[in-house]
Every structure is written in C-alpha cells, then in structure tokens.
Structure 1
Amino acid sequence: MIRKQGLKVRGDWGGCHAVIGGQNVVLKFFCMRSKYSGKHFVRCYPCERQQALFDGHIRAFSFFGGVFPVLIYDNLTTAVQKIFKGKKREVQKSFDKFRAYYNFAPLFCNPGQGHEKGGVEGLVGYARRNYMVTVPEADTLEALNEKILAECFSYGDHRISGREHSVNELYEEERKHLIALPEVAFGNLQTATGKINKYSTVLVDKNRYSVPTHYAYCKAIAVLHVDRGRYFTGIKRLPLMPGCLTAINGALILTIIWS
C-alpha cells in the first residue's frame, strides 16, 4: 500500500556546464523526483525563468504520465511572491494559475531549509555526476535533453539500495494514484510588444534582437517560447527564429538567427 507521502514529488534546479554546438555554455537543469518510487525527470534550460519552470513541469508530468497531488519546492522567486511565517506563502499569480490548471498543491520548504526536500537534492547531485560528467557535448540543447531523457527512462530499471523492487516496479504502484493530465497542455507562451528601431533591432526582455532591415520602424509583437521566438508586424508574420546558445559573462543567452 502506498502511504500518503508516496503521492508527493519534489522539484528543484541545478547548474552544469556543457558544450553545445562547439561552444562552452552554462546551463540550468530542472529536476523532479518521486518520493515513493525514486523515478525522476531531468531537463536542461538556458536559465531558471518562470517559463522554463513551467516547461519543466509540463514535460515532467508527461514523463510521469500524470500529476502528483503535492509538489515540494524551495522558495523559488518564480513561484513565491511573499514568504510568511511557517509554511504559508503568497504565490505569483501566474504560478497559481499554472498550479490550478494541473490541480496540484505546492508545499514550500522553510527558508534556508532546502534539505526538507530530501531526495531531490540528492537527485541534483546524482544528475550532475551521472549526466553532466564528463562535460556533455551535443549539437543542440534539444539533442542534449534527448540524451538525458533516455538516461531517465533507463534509471527506471535501477533498484535503489535497501529496496526490494526496481524504480519502475514501485512507480507502477503509485501511478494509478496520480491526477490525470488535461487533454491540452498549459499554454506556456509569453508575448511582448516593441518598436523596431532604425538599426533593425527590437528590445525584448532586456535583450535586443535583429530583424530584416525593411522592418525598421515597424511595431512588432514577439511570441516567446522557452527556446525560440516568433515576431509579428501588422498582419504579416516574420520568419521563425531558431536560437543558438552563446555564453556571455558566464550567462546563457539566446542569439537569434533568421531563417
């Protein structure tokens, strides 16, 4: 029988280095680990922004085949607006909307007590040692994540020391208790408006991106995905912009390449 704590999963962020497309970059990776079975999910991102947090959840829920009723976190600034005494928190409105969409209850650790998350902090170290050493190399970030995802699936055959059954065998017990996924995933898009200047660049989220020169002085709407963006001006859609990763001052930014 699965006890109540078996219906909890823990989420956290870690950091690593990688070589993407021949460039040395700094990445963040999102982890989610079941308390009961130990089954886990790991995915790398350019940063820890809220859109990446949501994407990590969406992909993790798909990986697990459902939503755990309770998710345990540190006091992430992308989730928590204000910390009160004890466990009470005022969460970001956007995070609360996301939480309500998937119908899970967030539980936040006491400040400075990240060890309350237990296994997931061990997962951060495990993922770094097993998936990020030696420094991983891939042509694209997506290719790296596909490799890590395969490792996560393979881990299901592992039997954790002191347990009689494998990770997947234990997971099959708890899977029936998960909340069903909605038919349509949460719409994890952000939009921003701006004006293209005389140099044919537009400011989006504190970064300037180049556009074709004949769009100078036009108003633009940027639809932002986690790993790519698309611009609209008037009723005409500008070309899709695949991104490449560039390390600047130890941070990872998205450099736009027009197709």
Structure 2
Amino acid sequence: MISKEAEAEVLRLYHAEKWRIGTIAAQLGLHHTTVQRVLRQTGVELKMVVPRPSMADPFVPFLVQQLEKYPGLCASRLFEMVRERGYPGGADHFRRVVSRHRPRKPAEAFQRLKTLPGDQGQVDWAYFGKHPVGRAERPLWAFVMVLSFSRKVFLRFFLGSSMPFFIRGHVEAFSFFGGIPRVLLYDNLKSAVLERQGDAIRFNPKLLELAAHYHFEARPVAVARGNEKGRVERAIRYVRDAFFAARKYTDVADLNRQADHWSQGASADRKWIEDKSRTVRDAFDDERGRLLPLPVEPFPVHERVEVEIGKTPYARFDLNDYSVPHDRTQRSLTVLADLQTVRIVDGQSDVVAVHPRSWDRGQQLEVAEHLARLAAEKRRAREHRGLDRLAKAAPSSQAFLRCLVDRGQNLGSNTSRLLQLLDAHGADALEDALVEVLERDTIHIGAVRQVLDRRRSERGLPPPVSISLSPSEHRDLVITPHSLSTYDSLKKETTP
C-alpha cells in the first residue's frame, strides 16, 4: 500500500505531465505494477503489452508437459533438458520462463478454530539470540504457553531449551495460571515427540510423566500444520514486538521479573480478539474456574545427571567443575541442579556438596572446607611417609619422637628436621647420634645436631652440604649401607 499523496502524484504525472508508467515508477521509487493498479482504480484503460517473441517459445510446450508430470522438477534440470534439444539461450532467462509456467498450488483456506474455556493450551519455544555470561555465551530461549480461549500468555526465559527447562516451564506456567488446561498442543519438537511415523507417535517419557502428574493430554499437531497452533505462534510474534524489542535487562532473572510484570499487566489488558469490548484479563477470569485443579505437590523440576569423579575431587556439570569431599573420588555421584543451586548426592539422599550454580563456563566452584580437608589429609600423608622413612633409616627415631610428643612438642616439625639431618649426614650417623642422645636423656633436635657435628669434627670431615632434591619417586628411598668387605670376599673367590 502507498500513501494518498503518492497516489495523487502518480495521477498528476500521468494525466498532466503525460509521463509513461515506467518513468513514473522509476522517479517515485515504485514498482510498475503499483503504478498500473493506481491508474486502473481511477478507470484508466491500460493498453495490453504484447509480449515479444522469445527463443524459448518453441520449447514451452515441452516445458509445460514436463511440469505437469513432475511439478517439483528444478529449473536447472529443465534447462539441461532443453539445451540438449537445441535451446540456445542462457540459464537466467530460461529460469524466468519456468517460473511463469510452473503450476502453483491453489491457496488453502482455513477455518477459524474455536475452543471452550479451560479446554486447550498451546506450547512452544522461541529463540532470542545469545546471552553473555562471563566467558560463555548461552542461547536465550523463551518458553511460551498460551490459553487458547482467553489468549492469556505465560512467558519464561531460560538459558537453554533442554528437557529440564521444558518441564520447569510447564510447572511454572500451571502455577501462573492457577490451573491446568485439559489438552496441550505441541509442535513436533524433541522435548515432546521423540519419533513419529504418520499417526504413530512416540512421546518423550518425561513429558508423559508430567502429563500423568497433572492429568492433561499431550497432543502434537499434524506435520506441517502450523495453523493448528496459530495462537502460540502469534503470541510469540507478539512477545517479540511488544515485550522483547529494545528491552534492557541485567540478567535472565531480571528479564523474567519484567516478563511476569508484562504478562500480568500490558499483555492481560489488551483487547480480547473474540470480543473487542472485553480484555484478555476479563476472558481469563471466565476461564480460570474451568481449568483443572493443581495437585498437592508440584512435579519435581531439578536436573538429574550422573557424574564420574576422577582422581581430582571435582564433579563436571554444565561446563563447570564443582568441588566434592576428597574421600568421594573414583566413584559415581549424582548432580541435582535447579536454576540457583547445584547439589551433589552420593546414593539416594547423602548430600555431600552444595554450590551456587554458575552459568559461566570453565569455572571451578569450591567449598573452602573441602580444600582444607584435602590439605590436611595430604599433610598427614606426608608425615606418615616421613615417619616410615625415618623408621627404616634410623630405628631409634621412633623412641626419640615418642619422647618429644610426650613432652608436648610438635611431631610434624620435628619429623621434618630429622629428615633434613638424615639427608645431610646419612642413616648410620643419624642412628648413632639418636642412640647417644637417648642414653644421655637429652631429647632435643639441637642435641642430635650437636652430636652429629662433633663426630664429623672428630673424624676431620668438613660440614655436610645439603642438596635439595626435587619431588620424585626416588626422593624418599632409603638405602641401607653395608660393609665393603663383601667386595673383598667376592674378589678372593674369583682369584685363580
């Protein structure tokens, strides 16, 4: 449609200035058929333009015959067929000829579908682009449910369209409406229909559990019959134009708060299509009492995922790692998640960790207590390894350390100091020093170091040089020295 001013200008240029139709169209930026329509409406008889002869005319009968037999045959294949029969023209011109003669499907008329109050609702997903969360970009999907009689709209945004979000959308929609429609119509999306062969339909088992809990009938529309759920399609278009366009929000929670306010306000106050004197709010008041009542307990909506815990105490869920106690490694645990919280369960009810849910990616969410327990366990393990090493190298170290503990001194620090002396002086020297200290009842690390230094000085040896070794599998090995006379005996046995 063009404005009245443009129509007046077309008539002026044609009658007063005697411009041709093509000139008017070019100068006013209109299509030539628009100019012709304006002139016909005012009674102007336009001359019929006789089409010029075309090199494709001899091939038109063959073209029409093929299109009658094969209506879907593409223009490129038809061009190859006529070129083999002598057509000298180009592909672009022949494509336009094909479009003029291709049989067109007759327009189909649809009857407006009417429903009773509380009888039907329609459900669908709508994609609204990407939503940045930290380093991640999550898809933003809108779950839309509309009551077919009153056109009351429920709108909820999620960072995904997986089955847990689909179930949660239903549960929150039923709570929003205060009841349940008897029938819900779905497109053939995977959340509702896993497989379909004609009238044979295999529903998603989770959807059937939801339908059994709330006592509604899940009904998919026929394939390629979007008109059967036109109410939710129009509702999605209405959401895009009247709510989401130019909408500013901080996060998805804020967006959903605004969506609730809009659904209860502007959306409910629009005119009802069946009676313009009433609003959607008025029609919903009539429908509310016809909805099925809500059950006592809502359907569980948490995500449930089985996870394998490896050597590190973290559970991987939804692109992030959540810490678990160190004693739960190398086993299978269960993640139970909602929109705000991630709970990790061992067995049926043993909750081992609770975390706030992160919608970012590549994050490590840790409980300080888990890390502290792991560090303490590692520290105890190091102490036990040190004690075992001392026991093998210098057996008297056990009695020495027992005396220190009885006197209230710290076991860990004294074990560490004895290990340093073991590395610097060797196992035999440390054992002899410990025996002397125990005999003299001077139970102190300083006394052991003094005995070691005195004995090295008596033998005229220089002070020991400590060589720090990097952690490896050989660092804690204890070598028990043996007498070199063994080699002398071996030598005598081999001498002829």
Aligned alpha-carbon RMSD (Å)? 2.7
1:105 positional shift: 0.8
- Correspondences of 1:1-259 after superposition (within 5 Å): 4-6=115-117, 7-17=119-129, 25-86=138-199, 88-138=200-250, 140-154=251-265, 155-160=267-272, 163-204=276-317, 207=319, 209-211=321-323, 214=326, 217-219=329-331, 220-226=333-339, 228-233=341-346, 235=350, 237-245=352-360, 257-258=365-366
TM-score, length basis structure 2:
0.45
1:85 positional shift: 1.8
Gaps of 5+ in 2: 1-113, 368-496
1:120 positional shift: 0.5
1:104 positional shift: 0.5
CA distance in 2, matches of 1:21, 1:224: 18
Distance 1:215 1:145, change over 3 A: farther
Distance 1:80 1:25, change over 3 A: closer
1:177 positional shift: 0.8
1:194 positional shift: 2.7
Distance 1:196 1:208, change over 3 A: farther
Distance 1:255 1:35, change over 3 A: farther
CA distance in 1, matches of 2:129, 2:201: 33
CA distance in 2, matches of 1:22, 1:192: 24
Q: What SS does the aligned partner of 1:243 have?
A: coil
Corresponding residue of 1:250: none
Distance 1:236 1:59, change over 3 A: closer
CA distance in 1, matches of 2:235, 2:132: 23
Q: Which piece of structure 1 moves more, 233-242 or 156-165?
A: 233-242
Q: What is the identity, as a one-letter code, of the residue corresponding to 2:269?
A: D
Q: What is the identity, as a one-letter code, of the residue corresponding to 1:95?
A: L
Corresponding residue of 1:251: none
CA distance in 2, matches of 1:93, 1:61: 20
Distance 1:134 1:19, change over 3 A: farther
1:98 positional shift: 0.8
- The question of whether the paired residues in 1 share the 8 Å contact of 2:185 and 2:219 is answered with yes
Q: What SS does the aligned partner of 1:137 have?
A: coil
Q: What SS does the aligned partner of 2:356 have?
A: coil
- The question of whether the paired residues in 2 share the 8 Å contact of 1:33 and 1:41 is answered with yes
- The question of whether the paired residues in 2 share the 8 Å contact of 1:244 and 1:257 is answered with no
Distance 1:233 1:30, change over 3 A: same
Decide which structure has the larger Cα Rg and report it: 2
CA distance in 2, matches of 1:12, 1:79: 10
Using CA pairs under 8 Å that are at least 6 residues apart, name the structure with larger relative contact order, 1 or 2: 1
Gaps of 5+ in 1: 247-253
Distance 1:229 1:37, change over 3 A: same
Which is richer in strand? 1
Q: Which piece of structure 1 moves more, 71-80 or 4-13?
A: 4-13
Q: What SS does the aligned partner of 1:129 have?
A: helix
CA distance in 2, matches of 1:84, 1:43: 32
